[in-house]
Amino acid sequence: MDRFFELTARGSSVGQEVRGGLTTFMAMAYIILLNPIILGGAADVTGAKLSIPQLTTSTIIAAAVSTILIGLVGNAPFGVAAGLGLNAVVAYQAAPHMTWAQAMGLVVLEGLVIVLLAVSGARRLIMNAIPLALKHAISVGIGMFITLIGLVDAGFVAKGTGTPVQLGATGHLTGWPVAVFCFGLLLVIVLSVRKIRGAILIGIVVTAVLAIAVNSLATINPASWGVVVPRVPEAVVSLPDAGLVGRVDLFGGFSRAGVVTATVVLFTLVLSGFFDAMGTIIGVSDEAGLVDAEGRVPRLGAILTVDGVAGAIGGFSSASANTVFVESAAGVGEGARTGLAAVVTGTMFVLTLFFTPLAAVVPAAAAAPALVLVGALMMTQARNVPWEDLTLAVPAFLTIALMPFTYSITNGVGAGVVAYTVIQAATGQARGIPLLLWVVTLVFAAYFAIEGIRGLFV
């Protein structure tokens, strides 16, 4: 095991990887409930809706297979599951124009396209063409992004009435869920600064138990907890329903919705899946200390190939496109450094196939403190950005700022790349820009203008 996962070489241990893998699972387990809600809440062109129990099984199967695969093949401490944002594209951009089977067929094609880009080496070349300063900025931006995710999910930050965002739902901190989150955040901070082993995992478990106790003793609006309401489960074991697995129509979407519409959906899925995963892989690997002096990630080719395969697995399972989860940073914060942590995370997903009720007891208020703390840890990468050089500082800043402000890793990466290329060209450094980076810049320009381009053909 030590040789296979390079535990000693990466300064890790079995115990450290197990803790990290469990922490990653608990930080991303919400997807088991949230993905079915997003997909199940939409109807396809025929008015058909997908079964929530079947979607739950599909989500777990796809996540389990993909996460174990990236651990064994890529030796990376990443959790993989249905990507938020990607599932929204499937539910609200694809399904209204085609059947669910046809929409999932496009997801399978998206995964296959990304596999081809990875196997050909193009995806690795693109990642290596990104300037080192932007790679560090991606880490910082992801830290800001997951912090905002944690704060919003916990109800500590909400959409404002007179401002874009505000403190709490009313402009003030109110309600037991927010109080539980504050307790959990202070707990993980204290445990971490005191260097207690398993600080994040202990914090999640203790806070989840507190949330269950508070919810049972106090009168609380269930909706205030978010997707997961902390209750003692009525049952422990449940049988999975894999009825949606394999229900795909690869090319039917092009005839049903039209070539232009289907192509726009496929382009959106490929670009979002490509760069969301790229940003997460770079950022989390950087935080784990796995990136070399030139910003390169070990076994990158294998990781990128598995990420593409995971996208296709998600489509084949009718769970939407799978991608590397930014919550993997929580496991890294707990010490995960190798693929063994991913195997642990994937195994936990397998277990939840039969113990789904237990996965529904950890609310956002308990998992969110881990995201906020890890966000703080990832901010330390800002020291590696040469802020005195505006030609690098401005693209880096846009990368960092737009990830949380637009709720998208892809938007942040795109803004940074476009700004970097334009600034370098404007200062007479155009010849120093790799040809591949010019291509990526043009792709991002098309991505930002996709609706306008679509209007020219529709």
What mean pLDDT, rounded, does the chain reach?
88
Asked which of 180-184, 208-212, 259-263, 332-336 is least confident by mean pLDDT, the reply is: 259-263
Q: How many CB atoms lie within 10 A of CB 68?
A: 20
Beta strands in 244-318 (DSSP E): none
Categorise residue 378: left if φ over 0, alpha if ψ from -120 to 50, beta otherwise: alpha
Q: Which of 229, 228, 187, 224 is nearest to 204 (CA)?
A: 187
pTM above 0.85, yes or no: no
Q: Of 36-45, 56-65, 182-191, which range is least confident?
A: 36-45
Q: At what angle do helices 364-378 and 176-193 cross, to 10 degrees?
A: 40
β-bridge pairing 165-167 and 157-159: antiparallel
Lowest mean pLDDT among 10-19, 352-361, 434-443: 352-361
CA distance 21 to 342: 6
Domain ranges of the chain: 1-143+236-362, 386-457
What's the pLDDT at 107? 95
Q: Residue 359: is its pLDDT beyond 70?
A: no
Can you tell me which residue has the tokens 């089977």?
101
Q: Which residue has the higher pLDDT, 409 or 15?
A: 15
Q: Higher model confidence: residue 192 or residue 67?
A: 67
Torsions phi, psi for 387 (to 5 deg): -65, -20
Q: Average of pLDDT values for 397-407?
A: 92
Q: Which of 291, 340, 11 is nearest to 132 (CA)?
A: 291
Give the model's confidence band at 312: pLDDT under 50 very low, under 70 low, under 90 confident, else very high.
very high
pLDDT-based confidence at 331, cuts 50/70/90?
A: very high
Q: What is the pLDDT of residue 418?
A: 95
User: In the chain, what percentage of residues exceed pLDDT 90?
Assistant: 45
Q: Are 254 and 262 in contact (CB under 8 A)?
A: yes
Per-residue pLDDT, 360: 63
C-alpha distances (whole Å) from 421 to each of 129, 169, 366, 433 are 12, 40, 41, 7
25-56 residue pLDDT tens: 988 887 887 788 778 878 899 999 898 889 98
The residues facing 165 across adjacent strands are 159
C-alpha to C-alpha distance for 155 and 126, rounded to whole angstroms: 37
- Residue 90 tokens read as 């499937």
Q: Is the pLDDT of residue 450 over 80?
A: no
CA distances from 78 to 22, 63, 231, 282, 333 (A): 12, 11, 29, 11, 12
pLDDT digits (tens, 9 = 90+) for 226-258: 777 888 877 778 888 899 999 999 999 999 988
Does position 137 have pLDDT exceeding 80, yes or no?
yes
